[in-house]
Amino acid sequence: MRALAAQKPEVVFWSHPNQGAHYTLNAAIHRAKGEFVAILNSDDAYHPERLADCLQVFRDDPGVAVVTTALNVVDEQGDPIHNRWHERGKAFYREIGDLSLALVNGNLLMTTSNICARRSLFHEIGCFSALRYAHDLEFFLGVLARGKRIHFIDKPLVDYRRHASNTIREEVPNAPSRGWRGR
């Protein structure tokens, strides 16, 4: 990355001690200079056409604040895996057509890697909350609660990688108890 950043002034490379995903995302958003912000977590992957498809939605509809897409759930090697929970969430959304209700039912958008947003949105509504497991869901719901629009492209353009060290796969007894009311 350092070599790429040295060759291309538009690429900014920086590093800091781990303070949580929300902190890193917020710091990157504050450093961003372009009109749009697309988030890609280190264990996920974009399909080659994802950014062009998302940008086309923004060009076609200036009222859209966030573009998301369908996704593939993959294992450590990138092979597709069936995720019944995700499939049920998508089916529920397709049935009711209400993204707010579908997200309350289950976060079918799954990950911050599924966020492509106008940078100005973060100045309007704020960035990610200091939540260990649900900062993406809280962000999506906050966007909708503030009357902003999320456009969903029903085409899988993100590979969401599931593996043993995903934060969300931590065992509940090892998860911090602050704010957790598990049973």
Average confidence score pLDDT of the chain: 88
Order the strands of the 116-118 sheet from edge to edge. 36-38, 116-118, 64-74, 149-161, 45-46
Position 23 in a domain: no
Contact 43, 161 (CB under 8 A): yes
The pLDDT assigned to 63 comes to 97
Least confident of 72-86, 93-107, 162-176: 162-176
Long-range contacts of 136-142 (CB under 8 A, 24+ apart): 136/107, 136/109, 136/110, 136/111, 136/112, 137/103, 137/107, 137/109, 139/112, 139/115, 140/66, 140/68, 140/103, 140/107, 140/109, 141/100, 141/103, 141/104
The pLDDT assigned to 132 comes to 82
The pLDDT assigned to 153 comes to 96
Q: Quick one: average pLDDT of 101-129?
A: 95
pLDDT band at 165 (very low <50, low <70, confident <90, very high): low
Position 72 in a domain: yes
The pLDDT assigned to 163 comes to 61
pTM: 0.85
* pLDDT at residue 102 greater than cutoff 60: yes
Position 20 in a domain: no
* pLDDT at residue 152 greater than cutoff 60: yes
Position 116 in a domain: yes
Give the model confidence (pLDDT) of 117-138 as tens digits.
999 999 999 999 988 889 999 9
Position 86 in a domain: yes
The CATH number linked to 135 is 3.90.550.10
Give the model confidence (pLDDT) of 23-53 as tens digits.
999 999 999 999 999 999 989 999 999 999 9
Q: How many domains does the chain have?
A: 1
Domain limits for position 160: 35-172
Position 24 in a domain: no
Q: How many Å is the maximal CA-CA distance in the chain?
A: 52
Q: Quick one: average pLDDT of 82-89?
A: 91
Contact 149, 68 (CB under 8 A): no
The pLDDT assigned to 174 comes to 45
Position 134 in a domain: yes
